[in-house]
Amino acid sequence: MGKKDKELDAAVEELAKADTLAFGGVGIASTLLPETEAYRHVERALVEHPEEARKKVDWLLKHGSPAGKAYAATLLDKVDREAGRAAWERLRDDKREFTTFSGCVMGRATLREYATERLAGD
């Protein structure tokens, strides 16, 4: 898996330092941010190489930036609902902030706020 390992590592590193959470294109030009591309790469890896990718997502949940942790919890939620919910529960007490994007709309959120919204959506 050599090249795939390096690509997965690079994507996880990108997410670990992310300061923005965006799942689609942002701005008028609908540009994909590097962290969004990295998220999509890890999302694909969870399907193609679930064991290896899951270890990386678990690491990201522990060591990532606030946005990185939100990406990790979102990824877990997609592949293991129970693990995703547990991740959001752990993040619910974190008051650190990150930038959010939804299309052209930029905002700020704390992990606490974001996790509480995700848990309420169940």
Where the chain has pLDDT below 70, the residues are: 1, 122
Neighbours of 114 (CB within 10 A): 24
Give the pLDDT of residue 81.
95
Give the pLDDT of residue 104.
86
Q: Give the span between the Cα atoms of 1 and 9, in whole angstroms.
A: 12
Give the pLDDT of residue 23.
95
Neighbours of 31 (CB within 10 A): 11
State pLDDT tens for residues 34-65.
999 999 999 999 999 999 999 999 999 999 99
Helix 34-48 / helix 2-16 crossing angle, nearest 10 deg: 130
Give the pLDDT of residue 44.
97
Distance of alpha carbon 30 from its chain centroid, rounded?
19
Contact in structure between 118 and 72 (CB atoms under 8 Å): no
Q: What type of residue sits at position 118?
A: R
